[in-house]
Amino acid sequence: MDTEQRTSIQEKSKQEQLATFRAEHDGDDLTTNQAVRVNHTDDALKAGTRGPTLMEDFHFREKITHFDHERIPERVVHARGFGAHGYFQVYEPMSKYTKAKFLQDPAIKTPVFVRFSTVVGSRGSADTVRDVRGFATKFYTEDGNYDLVANNIPIFFIQDGIKFPDVVHAIKPEPHNEIPQASAAHDTFWDFVVQTPELSHMIMWLLSDRAIPRSFRMMEGFGVNTFRFINEQGKSHFIKFHWKPTLGVHSLVWDEAQKLAGKDPDYNRRDLWDAINAGQYPEFELGVQILEEQDEFAFDFDILDATKFWPEEQIPVRKIGKMTLNRNVDNFFAETEQVAFHPGHVVSGIDFTNDPLLQGRLFSYLDTQLIRLGGPNFHEIPINKPLAPIHNNQRDGYHRMTIDHGRVSYFPNSLQGNTPLPNEQEGYKHYEEKVEGKKVRQRSESFNDHFRQATFFWNSMSLIEKQHIIDAFHFEVGNVVDKNIKQGVVDLFNNVDGELAKQIAMGIGAQPPSQPGGTGVTASSPAVSQQKTVKSAYSRKVAILMDNGFNYPEVTQVMESLKNAGVNTEVVSKYQGMLTSVDGRQIEVNKNYAGTGSIMYDAIYVTGGRQCVDTLLHQGDAIHFVNEAFKHAKAIGATNEGVDLLATAQLQGTPLADPSTYAELVNELGVVTIRNAADMGYFSGKFIEAIAQHRHWIRQQQKDMVPA
C-alpha cells in the first residue's frame, strides 16, 4: 500500500463511516420496512369494528414479527455493558518494539470504541455490584481492527482456558433457583474456590475495593494475558497492557454500592454518559510493561500465568499514549450491544504467547459472537466494520451485506489476475517460535504457587483497604449456607495470611486456624494500593443542600469556585422547582430528596441563610443526607448558619466552626466549616482540596458511630 493510500485511510473517521448508516426520522412519514407509507398504526385490519383480525394486514404482521425478534442472545459473561467513542494518540514512535502502525505517529488520531461492563450479571443487573469490570477497546487502525480486551483487575480466576466454563458456572446464579443475581455470595462459587486454590489470588482482588469502582472513568484496565510486541526486524518482547485513568483509581464503599444498586442501578453508565455530555472527557493513558525474551524466567512467578501480575516496581509501566472518550453512542443496541470484541483481532506487530488462558480466549470469544450475532458476518455490522478495506474470498452466510462483483471467490485464480493476493511484505506474520513437546494434559510446575502473590497483594493494602477485604469476606462467605464450605474458606486463606484467616473466621462463625499460616512473603507493591493514586476534584459531583431563605451571594460564590475547578454541582431540596433567597433572588432545584441521595455525590455542601437552615433542621432527609455522607467518608462543607445543620447531625468527634469567632475556618476529618464569613474564596479552596481526597479515612472510628 503506497503512502497516498495509507494517508487516505488515516484521514477517514469512524464517525463519518457510521454516518452513512445513521437515519433521521424527524418530520418523515411512517413507512414499513419496504418503504411503503402507512396511513394508520394503532389498529389492526379487521372484518368489521368488532370482527376478527385479518392476516392480510402486512403492516400488522411486519410490526409484530419485528418486535418478536428484536432481542439477540445476551453475552454469557459481560452481558451488562456501556460504550463510548473516542480516539487514541501515541506519544512517540514505538518502532523499537513493535511495527504496529497505530503506535508510530503521534500526529495520528486512531478512532476507538470502548465498552465497559460487569462480568457475572445479566443485562438487567446493577452497575455497582461487586464484580470484575470489563474494559474492551476496539482500535480502528489503518491496518485493520485491533481489540484490546481488558479487565479492571490485572489477573484472572484460572490459569487454563479449559476451566472457564467451570468458574462461570460456579459464580452464576445457582441453577435450581436462579439465585443470586450478579453476586458471588453463594455456596456454589465458594465451593469452587475451596476446591480450586489457583483462585486465591483473584479472590483477594475481587474482595478489595477494586471490584466496586466509583466510575468507569476512575478504574484501571489490564490486558491480563501476556502478549508480544514484534518489530520490523522480527525481534520479540513480552508485554502486558495497562490503561491508567488520568483521574486516578477510586472506589465506592460497600454500603454505598449496595444502596446505589437500588436507588440508581445505572449509576456507572449514567456517570460516563453525563461526563461526556458535559465535555469532561474521560482520559486513559496506555501503558506497557516490556520484558526482554531472555528475562522470561528471571522472576519467582511464571510470566505466562494469568493468575499472577508483574509488579510495577520490578517491571515498570511505560506510558506510550493516551485515549480520550469524547462521544456517546447514538443507539445503544446498534453500537454497544452489537459490538464484537475478540483478543484474536490483532494487527501486525502484536502477537500471542503460550499463556494457556489466552489460548482458550482465542477460541471462545470468536465462537460466542457467531451465535450471538447470527453468523460469521458480524464484521459487517457498522460498529464492527474496519476502516481499512476488506478483500477476501469469504462469501455468503447470514446477514451478508457486501455485494461482491465478479465470479471469482477462490485462490489461486487466473480469471481475476490471481487477486486478492497475499502480501508477503506487509501481511501479518506470526512470530517464529520453536515449539516442541509431548502431548500432555498438565500444567508447568511453575504455575503451582497459588499463594505467594496473594500474600504480596495483602501486604500492599493500607489498613483501611485490609479492613474492607475482611468485611467483604464477612458478607460474601457469610451468605454461604454450608458450614463445611465456610470452614474451607478459612483454611484456604490461612495459606495466604494467618491473621486474615482469623479475621474471616470471626465474622462467619467458623473456627480460626489452629496454626497461623502464611507464605512468609513480606514484600509489598505501592502501585497496588489505591491510597497512592492520583487525586483530583475535577469532574466530581457535589450536592448543595438548600431551602427558601438561603444566602444568594454566599452559595453562588461557592458554586462559581467549584465550577472553575471543574466540579459539578446539583441543588438538592425537599421539592423541585425554584427556591427564593433572603434577598428575593431564585435558584432552581435539580433534585429532590425522594429522587436522589448522598450516595450519588462525592461531597456535600450546606449553605447559610437563617430561614434556609432552620427549615433544613426540621427535615430528617437533610440530616440523613449529611450523616450518610459522613459515614461514607466523603468531604462535607458548610458555611455560616449551614454549620448548624452539621452540629445537629452530631458528626462524631468533628470540631466545627465556632459562632463566636470571625471567619476562622475549621478543617478536620474532611469536614470544612466557616462562620461569619462574607468572602467564600478561602473556604472554597479548602473544600475543593477536601473533595479531591475522595475519602477521608482518618474519620474511620467516628464514622462507624453514625446511624445512617
Which residues are identified as catalytic?
78, 151
Asked if residues 569 and 563 have their Cβ atoms less than 8 Å apart, the reply is: yes
* C-alpha–C-alpha distance, residues 681 and 557, integer Å: 8
Asked if residues 599 and 268 have their Cβ atoms less than 8 Å apart, the reply is: no
* C-alpha–C-alpha distance, residues 633 and 659, integer Å: 25
* C-alpha–C-alpha distance, residues 214 and 549, integer Å: 34
Bridge partners for 242 per DSSP: 222, 287
Instruction: Quote the Cα angle for 634-638-644, to 5°.
Output: 115
Q: What SS3 state is found at 319?
A: strand
Asked if residues 119 and 157 have their Cβ atoms less than 8 Å apart, the reply is: no
Query: Where do we find the cell 449509576?
Result: 267
Cα distances (angstroms) measured from residue 210 to each of 252, 313, 493, 694: 9, 20, 19, 15
* C-alpha–C-alpha distance, residues 193 and 488, integer Å: 9
Nearest to 312 by CA among 526, 536, 597: 526
Instruction: Quote the Cα angle for 358-361-367, to 5°.
Output: 155
The dihedral built from the CA positions of residue 242, 247, 249 and 255, taken in this order, carries a sign that is negative
* DSSP 8-state symbol, 315: S
Residue partners of 415: CB distance under 8 A and separation at least 6: 406, 407, 408
Instruction: Quote the Cα angle for 289-293-295, to 5°.
Output: 80
Q: Residue 554: what residue type?
A: E
3-state helix, strand, coil in the chain (%, to 5): 35, 15, 50
Q: Are strands 317-328 and 283-292 parallel, antiparallel or unpaired?
A: antiparallel
* C-alpha–C-alpha distance, residues 677 and 686, integer Å: 14
* C-alpha–C-alpha distance, residues 101 and 112, integer Å: 15
Q: Are strands 227-230 and 236-245 parallel, antiparallel or unpaired?
A: antiparallel
Q: Are strands 541-545 and 603-606 parallel, antiparallel or unpaired?
A: parallel
HEC letters along 543-561: EEECCCCCCHHHHHHHHHH
Terminal-residue alpha carbon distance, the chain: 65
Q: Cell triple for residue 586?
A: 431564585
Cis preceding-peptide flag for 412 (omega within 30 of 0): yes
* C-alpha–C-alpha distance, residues 533 and 524, integer Å: 16
Q: Cell triple for residue 241?
A: 497492557
Neighbours of 496 (CB within 10 A): 25
Instruction: Quote the Cα angle for 108-110-115, to 5°.
Output: 155
* C-alpha–C-alpha distance, residues 77 and 703, integer Å: 37
* C-alpha–C-alpha distance, residues 609 and 422, integer Å: 76
Q: What are the phi and psi torsion angles at 14 (to 5°)?
A: -60, -35
